[in-house]
Amino acid sequence: MLTLQPSLKRRRKRPQKAHIGLAVAGGGPVGGMYELGALRALDEAIEGLKLTDLEVYVGVSSGAFLASGLANQLSTAEMCRIFLTDDVDQGRFRPEVFLRPAFQEYLRRAAGIPHMIGSWLLDIIRNPDDNKWTDVVGRLGAIIPTGLFDNAEIERFLRTIFASHGRTNDFRELKNRLYVVAVDIDSGEAVKFGAAGHDQVPISRAVQASSALPGLYPPVEINGHWYVDGALRRTLHASVALDAGAELVFGINPLVPFDASMALRNGLPVPSSLIEGGLPAVLSQTFRTLLKSRMQVGLDKYQTQYEHADIVLFEPRPDDTSMFFTNVFSYESRHKLAQHAYSSTLRDLGHEYRQTAASAGTSWPIHPRRSHQQPRPRSARFPWSAPAA
């Protein structure tokens, strides 16, 4: 689904050089595959758009993987080969690295058990009448691991990729600006790695911090601070690209609330209610609703704060069963979801982009190529190994 939010103040003349930014939200590994398919479609279908040569890139969580790759001159075709086919000679992506138990975190928390028990017993001896079993529950929180899985291997994989073929793991050496957003867990503030004062951090380490979703991955320590997933503050962080001077921002958000009633009206096989999916389905819908509503509030503010900027947002349709009912950590669905996003994004471009842009009065010198103005069938082949058109 394509949404274009045009600027309130129109430009008097077409810009000589398009100041274009890209903002890619999070969504877990499967969300990342959706974003990769959508980016591949944009790369192939929009004339005048070179995704490896934009003014500014902003990545959050799984979106940080893709944004940092594009900023490092990794084309969408190359990233498809890395993440989907393993047909590369520069490091092989293994999906299981996302699910390796955080043994080091387990051991660190287990090492605190004797101290917890000792301090509790000491308090009982000193104040036998003031201790209750509820105090024990509170103390147990300190020995529960902060994450189930270890994402250190993700950082090592990215470090290897960025150290080869003339790429760099240093924000300061990139041709164009890259910002990777994470949240300082002790202050709740969003931090833009790549900005002044935070650009000495290796890109791979910043991506690791930005994708440390609380509960799944432990916070990542950088220069004495602990960081978690950047989506805790905002969904898309498109304002980072707008603040950097982008006048046209392409945004991709893979997580939207599922509309079961729409799906039923369209004849799609779905349960009568999401509660039939149990707690995972309810939590997924809750999380998606929070992300979407928060992003919409931000977009509404952008229209007044950045009056000369246009935002083009790509998302799944609300009745997209492929995106909702696929396990967010199902790696066997990588090809299927990338293909799905590629085809649906091409259809959005063919159906909506030109008409929507014209009605909004946008004047950007980019538009769908003639070969993609007609919608492709659902089975449109996903060209993961072909060069960008």
List the beta strands (DSSP E) in the chain. Answer: 2-5, 20-24, 46-47, 56-60, 177-184, 190-193, 220-222, 225-229, 248-252, 310-314, 367-368
DSSP state of 170: B
Specify whether the CB–CB gap between 21 and 49 falls below 8 A. no
Residue bearing the bigger pLDDT, 230 or 385? 230
> What was the pLDDT predicted at 388?
39
pLDDT of 379 over the 50 cut: no
> What was the pLDDT predicted at 241?
96
Structure tokens at 30: 């499967």
Distance between CA 149 and CA 49 in Å, rounded?
Answer: 37
* Beta bridge partners of residue 149, listed in sequence order: 101
Q: Which residues of 70-99 are buried (b: 16+ CB within 10 A; e: fewer)?
A: bbbbbbbbbbbbbbbeeeeeebebeeebbe
Per-residue pLDDT tens digits for 135-191: 666 777 888 899 999 989 889 999 999 998 899 999 999 999 999 999 999 999 999
285 pLDDT band, cuts 50/70/90, is: very high
Per-residue pLDDT tens digits for 40-80: 999 988 888 899 999 999 999 999 999 999 999 999 999 98
Average pLDDT, the chain: 84
Residue bearing the bigger pLDDT, 330 or 230? 230
pLDDT of 87 over the 70 cut: no
17 pLDDT band, cuts 50/70/90, is: low
Contacts 24+ apart (CB under 8 A), 185-190: 185/214, 185/219, 185/226, 185/227, 185/228, 186/225, 186/226, 188/232, 188/233, 189/233, 190/230, 190/233, 190/234, 190/237
> What was the pLDDT predicted at 237?
94
Distance between CA 234 and CA 286 in Å, rounded?
Answer: 16
Distance between CA 76 and CA 36 in Å, rounded?
Answer: 7
pLDDT of 94 over the 50 cut: yes
Specify whether the CB–CB gap between 70 and 217 falls below 8 A. no
Distance between CA 263 and CA 360 in Å, rounded?
Answer: 29
> What was the pLDDT predicted at 228?
97
Per-residue pLDDT tens digits for 178-229: 999 999 999 999 999 999 999 999 999 999 999 999 989 999 999 999 999 9
314 pLDDT band, cuts 50/70/90, is: very high
Residue closest to 55 by CA, chosen among 175, 169, 159, 155: 175
Structure tokens at 116: 């917890």
Residue bearing the bigger pLDDT, 373 or 49? 49
DSSP state of 8: S
Mapping DSSP to helix (H, G, I), strand (E, B) and coil, where does residue 47 land? strand
Give me the mean pLDDT over the 325-337 stretch.
Answer: 72
Residue bearing the bigger pLDDT, 369 or 233? 233
Crossing angle of the two packed helices 152-162 and 203-210, in degrees rounded to 10: 150
Per-residue pLDDT tens digits for 101-148: 888 888 988 888 888 888 877 877 777 776 666 666 677 788 889 999
Distance between CA 235 and CA 60 in Å, rounded?
Answer: 8
Structure tokens at 268: 């799609």
Least confident of 256-270, 319-333, 334-348: 319-333
Mapping DSSP to helix (H, G, I), strand (E, B) and coil, where does residue 226 land? strand
- The phi, psi pair for 132, rounded to 5°, reads -130, 165
- The phi, psi pair for 117, rounded to 5°, reads -65, -45
pLDDT of 387 over the 50 cut: no
Residue closest to 82 by CA, chosen among 160, 136, 146: 160
Distance between CA 183 and CA 50 in Å, rounded?
Answer: 30
> What was the pLDDT predicted at 364?
55
Residue type at position 373: Q
Contacts (Cβ under 8 Å, ≥6 apart) of 245? 19, 55, 56
Residue closest to 72 by CA, chosen among 221, 201, 174, 206: 174
- Express as a percent the part of the chain with pLDDT over 70: 82
> What was the pLDDT predicted at 380?
44
Residue bearing the bigger pLDDT, 8 or 81? 81
Distance between CA 276 and CA 246 in Å, rounded?
Answer: 44
